[in-house]
Amino acid sequence: MASAPSKLYADDVSLLMVLLDTNPFFWSSSSLPFSVFLSHVLTFLNSILLLNQLNQVVVIATGYNSCSYIYDSSTSTNQGSDNGRMPARCVNLLQKLEEFVIKDEQLIKEGLREGIASSLLSGSLSMALCYIQRVFRSGPLHPQPRILCLQGSSDGPEQYVAIMNAIFSAQRSMIRIDSCYMGSSNSAFLQQASYITGGVYLKPQQPNGLFQYLSTVFATDLHSRAFLQLPKSLGVDFRASCFCHKKTIDLGYICSVCLSIFCKHHKKCSTCGSVFGQAQSDVNSTSNKKRKTPET
């Protein structure tokens, strides 16, 4: 790793982990073309690297079937075909991205799954956290890490447990997860991720002004954030997915031992194996249900 201890990391040096959603099903139906989105993001990444010489940017592609590191500013050299239209690092990034998309497409041939078009956010979150942990262990001096999710596709309830685990480990390591959601409705996962880790959740109202949003809200380092008024998340959707059918529910049963969530009453907890006693009466069983969001 290039983060040599000789470097002087001040508190405003950032390590920005960008999780780039490359879900083809989302982008083919999105109002914002992927090429425009990419140009905004690339400009944003360039400006991050220009903000501070020691800033580091890592890009992870969140695909439909896989995830992959596609860019790391600390390892990539700036040499390459600088064709005058864009910096070499962008060319490298796009090259890697194209390779990733091709590989991702090959993977889909095997297990054909239609219907839910969500990306593997849990995978890319875990990869980002692993990378940050490596940076943490590299020495006492390291840039301040944060994760920025640029997500477009809708939540995959089947990833609920994995994503929540990633969120909680990020919270525990005091890593903030910022999220910029490009989809039409709000993403409950990203709302919760930002809310729990103290990051910023933003859903741009003007998708073609994305760069403006990114540079206004997400460009500031963690230290400077203390002095800024950033958008706060309102209306966080705290609904959970049940562990049995991976459905998003707002009312359900919770295992009293391991806190697993179920949409139906089970005799036995599928997670920890605790045997539940029969509910005494109907009145009691409804009172066991916990409401996660207030009724409209």
Partner 1 sequence: MSCRQVVKRASYKSKIKDPGTPGVLTMTENKFVFRPNDPSSAAKFDVEFKHITGHKNTKEGTDKPPWLNLSDKDRCYIFEFGSFHDLHVCRDFVGNALAKSGEAAKASSAAKTTSEKSGVTLPDEQLSTAEMQLRMKLLQEDSELQKLHMQFVISGVLTESEFWATRKKLLDGDSRTKSKQRVGFRSSMILDTKPMTDGRMNKVTFNLTPEIKYQIFALKPAVHQAFLTLVPSKMTEKDFWTKYFRAEYLHSTRNAVAAAAEAAEDEELAIFLKEDAILASEARRKIRRVDPTLDMEADQGDDYTHLPDHGIFRDGSKDVMELQNELYRRTLSQDLNRQGAVVLQGRTVDVDLEDPRTVAEALMQSRRESDESAEQDRLDRITRMTEIEDLQEHHDHPVAQLCIKDPRDYFDTQQVNALKTLDDSRTGTEQKKCSLTTEEAYGSLREAISKIKSIGLKNSTVAPEIAITVLNGLTQNISSTKYQLGKNPQDSVLDSLPNKTKEELLHHWMSIQELLRHFWSSYPITTTYLSTKVGRLKDAMSQIYRQLEEIKQSDFRHQVSLLVRPMHQALDAAFQHFDADLQKRAARSGGETPNGNS
Q: Which residues bind partner 1 (CB under 8 A)?
A: 22, 24-30, 33-35, 38-40, 42-43, 83-86, 90-91, 94, 97-98, 101-102, 104-105, 108, 112, 117, 136-137, 140, 154, 171-174, 183-186, 195, 204-206, 208-213, 216-217, 229-238, 293-294, 296
Alpha-carbon gap, residue 216 to 200, rounded angstroms = 12
Q: Cβ–Cβ contacts within 10 Å for residue 51, how many?
A: 17
Q: What is the smallest separation between the CB atom of 97 and partner 1, expressed in angstroms?
A: 6
- Give backbone dihedrals phi and psi of 219, rounded to 5 degrees, phi first: -80, -25
Alpha-carbon gap, residue 188 to 207, rounded angstroms = 19
Q: What is the smallest separation between the CB atom of 192 and partner 1, expressed in angstroms?
A: 10
Q: What is the smallest separation between the CB atom of 294 and partner 1, expressed in angstroms?
A: 6
Place of tokens 């994995």: 162
CB nearer partner 1, residue 165 or residue 233: 233
DSSP state of 185: S
- CA angle 123/292/273 to nearest 5° reads 65
Q: What is the smallest separation between the CB atom of 43 and partner 1, expressed in angstroms?
A: 5
CB nearer partner 1, residue 165 or residue 216: 216
CB nearer partner 1, residue 278 or residue 284: 284
DSSP state of 276: P
Q: What is the smallest separation between the CB atom of 168 and partner 1, expressed in angstroms?
A: 8
Helix locations, 111-202, DSSP H? 121-137, 160-172, 188-197
CB nearer partner 1, residue 232 or residue 267: 232
Alpha-carbon gap, residue 182 to 3, rounded angstroms = 33
CB nearer partner 1, residue 4 or residue 98: 98
Q: Is 128 helix (H, G, I), strand (E, B) or coil?
A: helix
Q: What is the rounded (10 degree) CA torsion for 198, 232, 211, 24?
A: 70
CB nearer partner 1, residue 267 or residue 291: 291
Q: What is the smallest separation between the CB atom of 267 and partner 1, expressed in angstroms?
A: 31
